[in-house]
Chain A
Amino acid sequence: MSGPRFVIVCGSGGVGKTTTSAAIGLRAARGGERVLVVTVDPARRLAQVLGIDGGDTGTVAVEGGGSLTVTMLDTKAGWDSLIRRHARDAATAERVLRNPLYHNITARFVNSHDYIAMEKVNELASSGLYDLVVVDTPPSRNGLDLLAAPQRMREFFGGRLLRWLTFPYRNRVAALAAKPFLMVADRLLGAQFLGDIAEFFVLLQSMEPGFVRRAEEVESLLGSERVTCVVVASAERGSVEEAVFLIDRLRSRGMHVSMAVMNRTVGAADVPAAGETLPSPDEVRLRLPGIDASAALAEVALIGARLGDTAARHSIGVDAVRAVVDDVRVVPLVRTRGAGDPLEAIAGQVGPR
């Protein structure tokens, strides 16, 4: 097999997706693989997790013979290179790049960031530099904008909307047919602004074949055996419901969900042993005369009981995910103070089985 395997890490916000991406990468690199972790998140979060300073790309040395490289996506540079690649000539490319609305439109256009991320994945697919590519995705509560981006791009170019928008510039008769739209759009936005947008899309439309072909390539890669998804969740009910929903959506897109990571799970090891009895208040008073024995014992019992309740809830949550994914990795809650622990806690669980 040529080219790397891909792991796409998905989940809702706040569940530890970025840390999990880094941990999966770290674990594979320790196993001797050459690993790239791509973060789609504009913030420099991954680099922070791995302790890489500054810059958009950094490599950390890893024991075990592998390597771990982290890179941030540059949406603007990605779009610039796409435009240059697909434009029929250099002059067209320059006109697009100089259009005053270009940056604003590409920054928002059909989940622009997602599309560039998928382009990056496509580009890496034929590269021999890495054995494994881990993609950290933006929070996704309501489906998978990232994976849908190539399809939306293809539909946009193939669909009626682009033709509607560029009608008046191609055909005066057609302009009459588009009149209700133009009347509304004109009153909303003003003719000049609309003209700028339309010019931009006329130029973009000339690049249609290239964009459509690329989008199809990405879609076919995503549906292949080389790409798997890892879903990250916490074991609380709301997060589990969203994870189950997400797994369902992923599978309905034809994606292979290889693993679920249940982060910060309270388990039996965190809960006081069932048979362990606390000393009596009298015994405590004898040994520790300085404290309010009854109150302190009640507090200790309360902390234990609370952990027990949480562990019971989490056990239900983990079972609910096990019902839909075979390979569920449970990451325990950290038990110590200090930074760096969450990464190692997850890395400890995500290795090969």
Chain B
Amino acid sequence: MDGSDAVARAFGSGPVGYDPAEVSPGLWAMTMRTDRSLQEYVRIHLRIPLLPDLGALASTFDFVADAAPGVKEVLGVGKVCWEVRERHYDLVIVDAEASGHIVAQIASPRTINSLVPRGPLRDQTAWMLAILDDPEQCGVVVVTTAEELPVTETVELVARLRDGTRTDVARIVVNGMEPAVPDGALALAGDPWFAAAAPSHAASVLATAGRRAGQADVTAALHGLGVPVTELPAASGDEAAVTELLAGSFT
């Protein structure tokens, strides 16, 4: 949603535009552009053909989308919901904007309802809400790290999502967890004889265990939210393994 090529880069693909590109077998990627979404919308719903002179008119479209409350957001969310409704794919994954914007985005059909008294845009909000509000069809995955500020932000975000939308918070993913240190290694590292024989090995084990315990202290707040939590290990350089692990927790 944010116009960066992060998703395409993750699949080793070049820049991906608004038109979906197959970056891996069975997996398509696209970059959201609200101006294109608006053009598509106008073409499909208002039956106004694409005008040949897009110059001034296109930028005016963009401006309306920019200035009118909720319009830019609803064009992004609307495009995503449209792909879901038309069943073009089995699963649609949205790499959303920063957490500050996500509530406004998901709430945008309701914002439109409260601000736009009538008109076709308002008429479009009902089917979007039917998708967004249905936990069978739509859920938010909140990604965080095991540190104090991001965890606080996550707790706040879950509260704001529940307050401002009816969309299900499906899962919390905690990224960058230290590995759990097995009891045997911990017993070795804690033994004075071993610590004298292999001091830097003992220190690395104890530091890892200490960081893990600190992360567990901080993430405790996430476990009382009634949302399933998936913990991911710190980057290991083997990104394929992490992807497999993560994919496993969603099936």
Contact = CB atoms under 8 A, between A and B. Distances in A.
Contacts of B175: 14
Interface residues of B, number: 78
A291 B237 contact: no
Contact of A306 (B210, B218, B236): B236
- Main SS at interface, chain A: helix
Interface string A260-278: 0000000000111100111
A329 to B, nearest CB: 19
A288 B187 contact: yes
Nearest to A333: B211
A127 to B, nearest CB: 28
Contact of A296 (B64, B185, B197, B208): B185
B149 A296 contact: no
B204 A277 contact: no
B25 interface: no
Nearest to A41: B100
A288 B210 CA distance: 22
Contact of A309 (B2, B56, B204, B236): B236
A108 B72 contact: yes
B201 A278 contact: yes
B2 A141 contact: yes
Interface residues of A, number: 77
B130 interface: no
A304 B70 CA distance: 51
A192 B191 CA distance: 77
A139 B98 contact: yes
B156 A187 contact: no
A29 B217 CA distance: 30
A292 B204 contact: no
Interface stretch (A157-165, A168-176, A207-215): A157-165
B235 interface: yes
Interface of A: 13-14, 16, 18-19, 41-43, 45, 48-49, 101, 104-105, 107-110, 138-139, 141-142, 160-161, 164-165, 180-181, 184-185, 187-190, 192-193, 197, 201, 236, 238, 241, 270-273, 276-279, 283-284, 287-288, 290-292, 295-297, 299-301, 303-304, 306-307, 309-310, 313, 333-339, 342
25 contacts: A14-B144, A104-B115, A108-B69, A109-B67, A160-B56, A161-B63, A164-B63, A187-B120, A188-B64, A188-B120, A197-B68, A241-B9, A272-B198, A272-B204, A279-B198, A284-B188, A288-B188, A291-B188, A295-B182, A296-B185, A303-B204, A303-B208, A310-B237, A335-B210, A337-B213
Q: What 10 pairs across the A-B complex have the smallest Cβ distances?
A: A296-B184, A190-B119, A104-B69, A299-B185, A337-B214, A272-B200, A273-B200, A161-B63, A272-B201, A142-B4
